[in-house]
Amino acid sequence: MAKTNYQNDLTFEEKVMMAIVRAAENFKRTHSTIFKKYGLSFPQYNILRVLEASDLGQNKISSVGRIMLVPGANMTGLAKRLEKQEFILRKRDPGDERVTILAITDKGKTTLKRIEEEKDKAIDIILKDFTETDKNGLLNKIKIIIRATTALNKGMTR
Amino acid sequence: MAKTNYQNDLTFEEKVMMAIVRAAENFKRTHSTIFKKYGLSFPQYNILRVLEASDLGQNKISSVGRIMLVPGANMTGLAKRLEKQEFILRKRDPGDERVTILAITDKGKTTLKRIEEEKDKAIDIILKDFTETDKNGLLNKIKIIIRATTALNKGMTR
DNA sequence: AATAAATAGTCAACATATTGACTATTTATT
DNA sequence: AATAAATAGTCAATATGTTGACTATTTATT
């Protein structure tokens, strides 16, 4: 009767949200461990993915940040470290001197290819107990939460 | 036909996992905005919650870290900053001189109470479109992912 | 054209996260 | 009892995340 613990004092709704946070942190840890073997961190890997999927393998630093929900100030350091390791190039946009363009290098592309298989295997293990219907249902629910939190965050900073 | 974008190049399974990451980050941002008004960060708030729910409002720093999945080295700085703001006390365990005990202060307890209503309201807004069945189903799926990622992480560091 | 406002990015300061080295204390082994 | 091993915690170095101040450039307004 006496023994209390953290989980018991959370409301059910709070448990749901904290579970999502914990799942995300676990997953980031899983992937970070893989990426580190290739010299990349989780956000660095994601920048490369965005550039790889962009036209000509390049994009504005601000656009990459917008896609990843990473603030501009944070992108500067991330991009500099990626450049130092030669995964990307940084160059000025001739058409607008304010703009910094990021471009993935051959080394960056090669590294992504080498990571791909191991990363996909990990995701398959994580989701192995889910049917396609399960995954669709889960994704739809998560999307609702993303929309709600995005709206809340906009309202709070305005 | 030409226009590529980031989302299209993700596998479906990857989309599911990245959506969870994004939802978690959005949620942490929502709550951080609330907590900041009371002088607390997201992890600081969670430490207070763990202590509040612990016997006598106190616990070993390592136990708090274990519950929150925060490495010990990280706990040191978090606890020091919480102590500086007088939300907690840090004291040595007389029975084992290696151990650091964290204890929530009255200021800490009061602050948690003041945060509670606003925080619960935000969570209710985020989950307002979900039935109880929806939330149960979601939580169960997320728990499966937590178990799978926990097992993977253990296997990778061993 | 000159000025004001908006946009893009960087930098500095600080909090948080992770790893590995290190100290101190306790427990186990010989 | 002396030594070895395990445990608890801190510290230093580095990366990441966030805010606010700042510079440079471009666009809008007068």
Nucleotide nearest to B28 (CA to C1'): D17
pLDDT for residue B33 is more than 60: yes
Q: Which residues pair with A60 in a beta bridge?
A: A101
Contact between residue B9 and residue A51 where contact means Cβ atoms under 8 Å apart: no
Least confident of A107-116, A148-157, B85-94, B109-118: A148-157
Inter-chain residue contact A149 with B126, CB threshold 8 Å = yes
The rounded radius of gyration (Å) of the Cα atoms in chain B is 19
Q: Where are the alpha helices (DSSP H) in chain B?
A: 12-36, 42-52, 61-68, 72-84, 106-126, 132-157
Round and report the angstrom distance from CA (B3) to C1' (D11).
50
Instruction: Return the closest nucleotide (C1') to the Cα of B66.
Output: D8
Contact between residue B82 and residue B36 where contact means Cβ atoms under 8 Å apart = no
Q: In angstroms, how far is C29 C1' from B69 CA?
A: 33
Chain B partners of A142 at a C-beta cutoff of 8 Å? Answer: 16, 19-20, 23
Inspect the interface and report whether the beta carbons of A24 and B25 lie closer than 8 Å.
yes
Q: Is the pLDDT of residue A7 over 70?
A: no
pLDDT tops 80 at residue B5: no
- What pLDDT is stored for residue B158 in this prediction? 57
A87 vs A82: CA distance, rounded Å? 5
* Rounded distance between C-alpha atoms, residue A137 and residue A132, angstroms: 9
A5/B18: higher pLDDT: B18
Q: Is the dihedral of CA B32, B34, B36, B38 positive or negative?
A: negative
Mean pLDDT score of chain A, rounded to an integer?
93
Which pLDDT belongs to residue B93?
95
Q: Smallest CA–CA separation between B87 and chain A, in Å?
A: 18
For residues B12 and B146, give the distance between their C-alpha atoms in angstroms, rounded to a whole number: 19
Cα distance from B16 to chain A (closest Cα, Å)? 5
SS3 A102: strand
Q: Are the beta carbons of B30 and A146 closer than 8 angstroms?
A: no
The Cβ-side half-sphere exposure at A87, using a 13 Å CA radius, reads 23
Mean pLDDT over B127-150 rounds to 96
Task: State the pLDDT confidence band at A4, using cuts at 50, 70 and 90.
Answer: very low
Burial A89-126 (b: 16+ CB within 10 A, else e): beeeeeeeeeebbbbbbeebeebbeebeeebeebbeeb
Each residue of B73-124: pLDDT tens digit?
999 999 999 999 999 999 999 999 999 999 999 999 999 999 999 999 999 9
Nucleotide nearest B42, CA–C1', reads: C16
Which protein residue's Cα is closest to nucleotide C16 at C1'?
A: B74
